[in-house]
Amino acid sequence: MIVTVNGINGTFEQPQTVREIISALTPDAIDTALGALVAGTVMELNHTINHDMDMTTLSFADEEGRRIYERSLRFVFLLAVKRRFPDAQVRFEHSIGQGIYVRIIGHRLAAFELHCIENEMRDIVAQDIPFVRKRWSREQAIDYFTELNSPDKARLLSYRPYSFFNVYEAGGMVEYFYGAMLPSTGYVKVFALQQRSPGLVLLMPDRDQPTQPAQPMHAPKLMNTLAESGYWCSVLGCVNVADLNDLIAQGKLRDFIRVNEALQDRSMATIADDITEMGARAIFIAGPSSSGKTTFANRLSIHLRVNGLRPVIISMDDFYSNR
């Protein structure tokens, strides 16, 4: 078979793994390779190739490469928590800078507990435990995660329209991740944990210098906003996709939308009161395309009018500056 890696061709008589082929054709890339991209499909390093193929290596410089690393690092974190705190329930909340904010449900992590988890993670990495992919039926996966006291994951899998799933096993623990993984725990040497009460931030390798952990991002306003979002989700009874699926199945989605609108309306009233109290003359609203800037401006304008102001909206949607 003829295989091309990053534009370099090679002929192989026997089936080879992606890692073996990369090592043979592009040895300089093997130390940073986290997977390979073949016709838009991500392949793991231990995937066996038995026919002609054109592949491009994935490293931490690639988005897909970072996702492979992140999934594997999450697994190591979960395994470390399970070993040190068997009854703990972990929730990966959201990204923050180049890290992931993580909470232990119902528990505020102390500094010594964070050190215990990090030390256990480094032990797991040093053991270089293989990630073994297994094919489970949906019923088998749901039963396993139910017994493991992971009801959210079990409910989520119950809505998946597939009869079988690929799960990964390492160190006596099985986890479900949607996407490719690294061959073993020894690949995720670079990480750090930072306490961020009540949880922690799991820091990934730095994008520009992947041999060292990224610096923590200090964003108190963003964290407060995300905490408020989490509170809203609890009020709405919808903290994950499984909850949203339940609301749809039970015909309660309209109530969900109405309560969400009421919460947002109350928040806008508070913002309008703050603007009025400050005596602000100009309010700037920024955000990505289609994020709701114009809708927000119109609704905020109404609340400002309730406060006796006469706001004027100046739209930038059709403003273009010549180069």
Q: Where are the domains of the chain?
A: 2-58, 65-203, 220-306
- The CATH code of the domain at 65-203 is 3.30.980.10
Residue 298 CB contacts under 8 Å (≥ 6 apart), including other chains: 313
Reading the block at residue 174, the tokens are 């099985």
Residue 76: the pLDDT is 97
Q: Tokens 């180049």 identify what position?
A: 98
Residue 158: the pLDDT is 86
Strand pairing class (53-58; 2-5): parallel
| DSSP state, residue 51 | S
CB neighbourhood size of 57 (10 A): 22
Residue 276: the pLDDT is 94
| CATH number 3.10.20.30 given to 2-58 | yes
Residue 319: the pLDDT is 63
Strand (E) positions, the chain?
2-5, 8-11, 16-17, 35-38, 41-43, 48-49, 53-58, 90-96, 99-104, 132-137, 164-170, 173-175, 192-196, 199-203
Per-residue pLDDT in tens (0 to 9) along the chain, 323 residues: 899 999 899 998 889 999 999 999 999 999 999 999 998 899 999 999 988 989 999 999 999 999 999 999 999 999 999 999 998 889 899 999 999 999 998 888 889 999 999 999 999 999 999 999 999 998 998 998 888 878 888 888 888 888 888 899 999 999 888 889 999 999 999 999 999 888 999 999 999 999 999 999 988 888 888 888 888 888 888 888 889 999 998 999 999 899 888 888 998 999 999 999 999 999 999 888 888 888 899 999 999 999 999 999 887 766 666 66
Residue 97: the pLDDT is 92
CB neighbourhood size of 112 (10 A): 7
